[in-house]
Amino acid sequence: MAKGTQINFDTTRPPSPFFKETHEAWRMALRKWIDKEIVPFVNEWEEKGEIPLALYKKASDFGLLRMGYPEEYGGISEGLDRFHGMVTSEEMARIGAGGISASLMVHGIGLPPILAIGSEEMKRRIAPAVLSGDKRISLAITEPSGGSDVAQIKTRARREGDEFIIQGSKMFLTGGMRADYFTTAVRTGGPGYAGISLMLIEADRAGLSRTKLDKQGWWASDTAAVYFDDVRVPAENLIGGENQGFAGIMRNFNGERLGMASGAIASSRVCLEEAVKWAQQRETFGKRLADHQVIRHKVAEMYRQINASQAYLEMCAWRVSNGETPVADLAMLKVQATLTLEFCAREAMQILGGAGYMRGNRVERIYREVRVNAIGGGSEEIMRDLAARQIGL
């Protein structure tokens, strides 16, 4: 960044060979839509604890919900790549309220397993309604007793003729209170990874109940605990083969981690923008905050960590775009991104001082969302251990 350049969300993203005119065109169009349809209502939706259902339809009509999905099911895919998805993650993070993005874009983790390994009948039954914004789908993996340990899933699906009977519970489901469908991990076989299947479960089936969960952050995202009390589903609701669900879950996690890393790094840039804006206007001891060496060093360190994380992110995205599945790097990238977010949120809060602690500003909201980023999609500890195993330790 040249001397004298204003420090903001855009100028703190280094020039990149991966972003072309089509990516910037999508960025500008999406930003204009977000500034009209979301930004004026952020505080209202945060306090209410949910986004309006009408927003899903608006997002689909604009193209946001449909970006990157097959056109035969109502998606938009021609000419798009992973970097368009990164632009989407960045612009949604710019809102400074992760719960809005998490709830609005939750189909990004609930729908891919169906499109990847589901039957053609299931794809045509579910995907168009979700991509049009008429229906919502959530991912149901985590359990009260298991957390990130997917191999220990206890929710069981017992086969009886042409039906499965589901018994168990799921926890921390993003978008779970208003989901119409759940892409659910169930145990259909023996212990460990080999006994896990994926099952589509409609929310209106008898025996399914749910409870809203209050959270530290992501207030605008409706989060649920879901309970299955002998819920009967037809055998054709099996997503992929019986006892073959773990591969689908892992493939889904890789994409989720790339998206979460992109959002976390962009949120770090929001923190940097807000901190610099405040430091340049706030005066203490006869000079701007920005003229105190300790503040300048904080800003420089935030900028350094963001640049390093962004470079790692773009390289991982390029590798995925070229057909690789760099599991270890995607795991380490998520750790890198969430540690950067944690550092930048803390330093921005320190620079803003009391102003940052007041409800209703982007730094305060992002600060509350640090932990969900560090834990969701695979905790930092799980990610480090996964990476260590992947590199052959």
Q: Are 356 and 279 in contact (CB under 8 A)?
A: no
CB-based burial, 358-375: b 16+ in 10 Å, e otherwise: eeebbbbbbbbbbebbbb
> What are 305-308's contacts with CB under 8 Å, separation 24+?
305/268, 305/339, 305/340, 305/343, 305/344, 306/12, 306/265, 306/268, 306/269, 306/272, 306/340, 306/344, 307/14, 308/336, 308/340
Q: How far apart are CA 383 and CA 174, in angstroms?
A: 20
Structure tokens at 60: 């689909």
Cα–Cα distance, 325 to 192 (Å, whole number): 23
Catalytic residue among 46, 90, 91, 256: 256
User: What is the bridge-based pairing of β-strands 181-187 and 137-140?
Assistant: parallel
Helices 21-37 and 54-62: crossing angle in degrees, nearest 10, is 150
* CB distance 50 to 222 below 8 Å: yes
Q: β-pairing, 223-234 with 163-174?
A: antiparallel
Query: Active site includes 160?
Result: no
Cβ atoms of residues 198 and 188 within 8 Å: no
Positions annotated as catalytic residues are 256
